[in-house]
Amino acid sequence: MITQCLPTAAATRSLGESLGRSLPAGSVLCLQGDLGSGKTTLVQGLGIGLGITEAIDSPTFTLINEYVGGRLPLYHFDLYRLEPADVVTLAPEIYWEGIETEPGIVAIEWSERLPYHPDTYLHIHLQADDGAAQGDPGRMAILTPVGSFVLPPLIN
């Protein structure tokens, strides 16, 4: 487990960029955090690190956005509006197993709504940093590799 202080949105984006530059195909990121905690900002940075030039927005209503113009494809899920039973109909495993899609990076916002997870993934919990300077709430990310996930060195 690694804790990363993220005092600004730019720092959150930078963490995503670092991950995007270094993660291999087949990586799954399970993102968790309150509304406004920086999940989409982190995924935007991930896209920048992958070399995706297209604007990345949260797929709150479309549920899954696919970006294929970078080093690897990025599959961005937003499960906010779904119940676990509804998530099953999306068949998220076809993305993380590369069954019907080119292997890439899978980023899942509101991953606590998944009824099942891949065997290997990176859990990223974004939360307010209680020790941040007054006037700037700041955030922190707790990164926990699950299974055989290998966290690359993070350089910001």
Packed helices 39-50 and 9-22: angle between N→C axes, nearest 10 degrees: 40
pLDDT in tens, 53-111: 999 988 776 788 999 989 999 999 999 988 888 888 888 899 998 888 899 999 999 99
Domain 2-132+141-146 coded CATH 3.40.50.300 = yes
pLDDT in tens, 129-153: 765 555 556 789 999 999 999 988 8
What is the residue extent of each domain of the chain?
2-132+141-146
Helices (H), 51-116: 84-88, 93-96
SS3 154: coil
Helix (H) or strand (E) holding 40: helix 39-50
The overall average pLDDT reported for the chain is: 89
Chain mean position to CA 20: 10
Sort residue 39 into left (φ over 0), alpha (ψ -120 to 50) or beta. Answer: alpha
